[in-house]
């Protein structure tokens, strides 16, 4: 499946005719030839654009200095050139590319046209129009899928993140640069860099870490440690920058769900077996209140709108908890079998899913009362929200029920919509994840949802009667799904921003495209060399030499491949590496095989690649311990043929 915003598709067709007839003031002006009063301000067709790039954190008191490796924020303030009024909403597109001769030779509009075409040979260093879909798999891995660009038309699998053990839950930080993953079997949390999708740290998190949450201020990670009866049970608190443990709090036995007040001053922790809610001071890491909730509290949410916490109990009630002093001020009766509770993005509506009754009760937090009782599909299990709909996922059917949020404030019953996400009920897979199975993509009205029974993830656009497409898990079971959004978003009226990691030092060109009116321009900024890096001579890049000269083998027999690893510019071989991974693919189709190469000494490695069928096989190599991914080293190909098999027998 290939998905593009509609305006980009139309615009790509329009760019080239414009280029052919370009004149002064038309779309093919070079950088710096635009009419305006400064290089960071641009005015055309009644639109004024102010451009800036700043680091998200100050560096030595110089907040405007950009250095390589920084997490930077790019901003475009788009206003009416005459009145100064913000222009909203828009869908601006932007690309960031380090200035090189191949870029300088092209006009700004021509360059944008090539970006839109999605040419593999002409890619931006940073694409601010895309997102990645993450699958939390049943094995010890996370799949990263690029929904916009497949590899040679064969696969949309962008990369894989190998884990030390299967994951159960995950959360991202506020600017979307880090992913934190719990791994219960090894008692750890992994930190994944979402720029290059590599694990950069692992931290101990008790004996059975399940749930993970991050404070609104981004300071601490809170991990629910569902320890056994004979061990401490509660929460482990980790530094979100380093994964170092800063403390732990024994709260009570059973499973723990975690929420925070919007000011990050208090953490709210449920204790399922004890029937209690523990309130923890996040500054001192000590409990300040313990409240009796019911027989089995299953989740907790905090509403910024009402400044109350809502704790759902499996026996069929939602406790309303007021803060300071912490106390239960009301109990909202729903009914037995309550398995999930979640507030919508505004904090106004609370959805309580009752599996036994196949029902969702909608609570108006402004009244703390049930205002709708909705009959939905079999065994509602998880809840999710877009800006306009509530999503109810079921275990007993492949349907997902959509509840229109704007209709909840009316007197009548909201009109429900059901959409089939696959053919088999998700409950046929026996190990549902605590992590969300439904996630918004960042595109308006677009969602992705996993069905582990089908081993598929589905893409849905609101208003459609069925998903628009699906993504394969390539033999794995996708238990949960998430999205890494790298696109520009409107953070204030007329202000469009995104964060990105600066790839290297040097001068960069930032290409911007607006669709209404059709306006494009290229801005520039410079990234300095990190002074700390400048004092260290970096290692030369890894070099691979494929030693096997014959590239044809007999179908049905393994292909013996040998290669050598060394550093570029050095004759010294890279010996004794035990994590040289080899990935083999065979197009067309989804077949692939991962292996570990055998060291032969003197920097040489060998692998026996399976070649069971005729066709062309592509082999790539990665070395995680040296931060070398499959895309960084040249690949090699070989062909398996029946004639070679006949020659071998003869």
Higher pLDDT, 110 or 372: 372
Tell me: pLDDT of 23 over 50. no
What integer is the mean pLDDT of 291-296?
94
Tell me: pLDDT of 17 over 50. no
Cβ atoms of 362 and 349 closer than 8 Å: yes
Question: What was the pLDDT predicted at 125?
Answer: 86
First to last CA, the chain: 45
Least trusted range by pLDDT, from 22-31, 252-261, 623-632:
22-31
Question: What was the pLDDT predicted at 177?
Answer: 87
Question: What was the pLDDT predicted at 501?
Answer: 84
What integer is the mean pLDDT of 467-477?
90
Q: Could you report the per-residue pLDDT of 173-205, keeping only the tens digit for each?
A: 988 889 999 999 999 999 999 988 999 999 999
pLDDT band at 374, cuts 50/70/90?
A: very high
- Give the integer Cα–Cα distance in Å for 597 and 578: 8
What integer is the mean pLDDT of 319-327?
96
Question: What was the pLDDT predicted at 59?
Answer: 56
What integer is the mean pLDDT of 221-243?
89
Q: Could you report the per-residue pLDDT of 559-583, keeping only the tens digit for each?
A: 999 999 987 656 678 887 888 999 9
Give one word for 307, left, alpha or beta, with left for phi > 0 and alpha for psi -120 to 50. left
Q: Is 48 helix (H, G, I), strand (E, B) or coil?
A: strand
Higher pLDDT, 263 or 557: 263
Tell me: pLDDT of 12 over 50. no
Q: Is 9 helix (H, G, I), strand (E, B) or coil?
A: helix
Question: What was the pLDDT predicted at 149?
Answer: 58
Tell me: pLDDT of 508 over 90. yes
Cβ atoms of 380 and 356 closer than 8 Å: no
Question: What was the pLDDT predicted at 26?
Answer: 36
Percent of the chain with pLDDT over 70: 86
Tell me: pLDDT of 101 over 60. no
What integer is the mean pLDDT of 582-595?
82
Least trusted range by pLDDT, from 251-255, 535-539, 580-584:
535-539
Tell me: pLDDT of 286 over 90. yes
pLDDT band at 121, cuts 50/70/90?
A: low
- Give the integer Cα–Cα distance in Å for 262 and 284: 17
Q: State the chain's mean pLDDT as an integer.
A: 86
Mention every residue, 6+ apart, whose C-beta is less than 8 A from residue 381: 339, 340, 353, 355, 393, 394, 395, 426, 427, 432
- Give the integer Cα–Cα distance in Å for 120 and 133: 20
Question: What was the pLDDT predicted at 602?
Answer: 83
pLDDT band at 63, cuts 50/70/90?
A: low
Total-model pTM:
0.73
Mention every residue, 6+ apart, whose C-beta is less than 8 A from residue 226: 184, 208, 209, 210, 233, 254, 255, 256
Question: What was the pLDDT predicted at 437?
Answer: 97
Highest mean pLDDT among 216-220, 588-592, 644-648: 216-220
């Amino acid at each position: 499946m290939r998905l593009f915003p509609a305006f980009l598709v139309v615009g790509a067709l329009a760019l080239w005719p414009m280029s052919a007839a370009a004149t002064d003031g038309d779309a093919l002006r070079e950088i710096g030839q635009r009419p305006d009063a400064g290089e960071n301000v641009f005015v055309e067709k009644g639109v004024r654009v102010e451009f800036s790039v700043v680091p998200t954190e100050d560096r030595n008191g110089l907040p405007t200095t950009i250095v390589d490796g920084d997490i930077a924020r790019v901003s475009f303030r788009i206003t009416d050139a005459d009145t100064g009024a913000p222009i909203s909403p828009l869908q601006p597109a932007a690309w960031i590319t380090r200035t090189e001769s191949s870029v300088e030779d092209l006009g700004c509009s021509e360059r944008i046209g090539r970006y839109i075409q999605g040419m593999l040979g002409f890619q931006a260093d940073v694409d601010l129009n895309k997102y990645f879909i993450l699958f939390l798999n049943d094995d010890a891995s996370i799949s990263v899928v690029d929904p916009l660009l497949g590899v040679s038309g064969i696969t949309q699998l962008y990369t894989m993140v190998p884990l030390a053990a299967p994951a159960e839950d995950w959360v991202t930080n506020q600017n979307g640069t880090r992913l934190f993953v719990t791994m219960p079997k090894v008692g750890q949390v992994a930190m994944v860099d979402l720029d290059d999708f590599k694990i950069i740290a692992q931290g101990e998190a008790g004996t059975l870490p399940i749930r993970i949450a991050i404070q609104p201020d981004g300071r601490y990670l809170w991990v629910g440690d569902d320890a056994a009866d004979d061990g401490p049970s509660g929460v482990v608190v980790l530094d979100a920058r380093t994964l170092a443990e800063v403390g732990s709090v024994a709260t009570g036995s059973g499973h723990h769900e975690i929420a925070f007040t919007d000011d990050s001053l208090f953490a709210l922790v449920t204790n399922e077996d004890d029937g209690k809610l523990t309130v923890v001071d996040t500054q001192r890491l000590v409990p300040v209140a313990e409240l009796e909730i019911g027989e089995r509290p299953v989740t907790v949410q905090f509403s910024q709108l009402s400044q109350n916490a809502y704790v759902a109990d499996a026996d069929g009630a939602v406790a309303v908890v007021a803060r300071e002093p912490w106390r239960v001020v009301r109990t909202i009766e729903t009914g037995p079998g309550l398995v999930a509770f979640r507030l919508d993005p505004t904090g106004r509506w609370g959805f309580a899913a009752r599996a036994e009754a196949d029902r969702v009760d909608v609570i108006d937090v402004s009244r703390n009362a049930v205002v709708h009782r909705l009959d939905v599909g079999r065994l509602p299990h998880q809840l999710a929200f877009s800006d306009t709909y509530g999503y109810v996922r079921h275990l007993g059917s492949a349907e997902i029920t959509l509840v229109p949020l704007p209709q909840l404030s009316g007197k009548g019953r909201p009109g429900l919509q059901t959409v089939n996400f696959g053919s088999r009920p998700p409950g046929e897979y026996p190990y549902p994840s605590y992590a969300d199975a439904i996630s918004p993509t960042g595109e308006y009205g677009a969602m992705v949802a996993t069905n582990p029974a089908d081993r598929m993830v589905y893409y849905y656009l609101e208003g459609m009667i069925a998903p628009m497409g699906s993504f394969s898990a390539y033999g794995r079971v996708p238990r949960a799904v998430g999205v890494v959004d790298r696109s520009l978003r409107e953070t204030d009226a007329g202000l469009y921003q995104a964060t990105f990691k600066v790839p290297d030092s040097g001068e960069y060109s930032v290409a911007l495209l607006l669709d209404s009116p059709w306006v494009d321009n290229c801005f520039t900024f410079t990234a300095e060399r990190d002074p700390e890096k400048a004092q260290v001579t970096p290692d030369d890049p890894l070099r691979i030499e494929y030693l096997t000269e014959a590239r044809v083998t007999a179908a049905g027999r393994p292909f013996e491949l040998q290669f050598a690893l060394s550093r570029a510019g050095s004759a010294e071989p890279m010996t004794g590496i035990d994590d040289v991974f080899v990935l083999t693919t065979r197009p067309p189709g989804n077949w692939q095989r991962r292996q570990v190469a055998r060291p032969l000494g003197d920097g040489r490695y060998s692998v026996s690649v399976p070649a069971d069928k005729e066709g062309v096989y592509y082999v790539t190599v990665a070395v995680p311990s040296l931060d070398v991914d499959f895309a960084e080293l040249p690949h090699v190909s070989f062909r398996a043929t029946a004639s070679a098999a006949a020659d071998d027998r003869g």
